[in-house]
Each structure stands twice: as structure tokens, then as C-alpha cells.
Amino acid sequence: MKRQLTCIICPIGCCLTAELDENGEVLNVTGNTCGRGKAYAESECTHPVRTLTTTMRVSGGTEPLVSIKSDMPLPKELLLPCMEKINRLQVAAPVQIGDILFRNIENTGIDLVATGNVKKDQTCG
Ligand code: SF4
């Protein structure tokens, strides 16, 4: 079986073809310009992962939301449960880029990190 993929590792976006055996193991990858594309195709076919980028609610801040990302790529099947968890979370201002806002999401060992700043709203009591 062959699977067509577009490499998302860099902006070139090479068209990859992964050849899989009957167990879903990758036998061969073609179309990649570099080794990172081969590694991406192998990962995508056997254990796809994505870096989660989204926002988290902020209380007492000058902005209601702060942008966040996972500090490592998460298994693709955990993205939805993680989003459901994040939607129930709220962090108190101030928030600074690099702050760890939640540790070990869904017991993955992966943390959620702020990618934006939100100041404390001085007009709030
Ligand atoms: S195979 Fe290499 S050059 Fe091609 S898109 Fe992927 S990372 Fe970029």
C-alpha cells in the first residue's frame, strides 16, 4: 500500500510517497529532499504527532486570552482531549512568554507554555 503525504517540516512542502507493508510498517519513502522528510513520513504513518497551538483563558488580565503551545508535539489522537481540558482551564494574570501554564497534559509529560504576554489589569479589584 502506498500513502501520499505533503511534508510539513519546512515551507518547501515536498510531496512524499510512503510504501507500507500489510502491518502498516514503512518500507520506503520517496519524494523527500532531505532526511527530515523521511522521518516525518515514517512518524506520520506510524505515530502522527502535532504541536498544539491554541489559547487559554486569563482572569484579571488586560486581555481575556493568552496564546499557548505544547512544549513538545502531542500524539494526534490526544489533541481533542487536550483541547477539551484547555477549554476548562483559566490562568491568572500576569502571564509572560515562556511561563508553564499547565504541566503534564493528559499524562503525556508535555507541558503547555505561554507564547504571549498578558499584563495584570490594574483597574480590576
Ligand atoms: S523533505 Fe526536507 S526539504 Fe522537503 S519539505 Fe520536508 S523538510 Fe523540507
The total of structural domains in the chain comes to 2
> Is the domain of 10 the same as that of 59?
no
> Is the domain of 59 the same as that of 120?
yes
Which distant-in-sequence residues (6+ apart) come within 8 Å of 10 by Cβ? 36
- 32 pocket-lining for ligand 1 (C-beta < 6 Å): yes
Best probe residue, ligand 1, of 4, 5, 6, 7 (max atoms within 8 Å of C-beta): 7
Question: Which domain covers residue 119, as residue numbers?
Answer: 53-124
* 8-50 tens-digit pLDDT: 999 999 999 999 999 999 999 999 999 999 999 999 999 999 9
Distance CA 57, CA 64 (A): 6
Closest residue by CA, ligand 1 atom 3? 33
- 34 pocket-lining for ligand 1 (C-beta < 6 Å): yes
* 65-85 tens-digit pLDDT: 999 999 999 999 999 999 999
Distance CA 31, CA 107 (A): 36
Q: pTM (2 decimals)?
A: 0.80
**Centre of ligand 1 from the C-alpha of residue 28, in Å:** 16
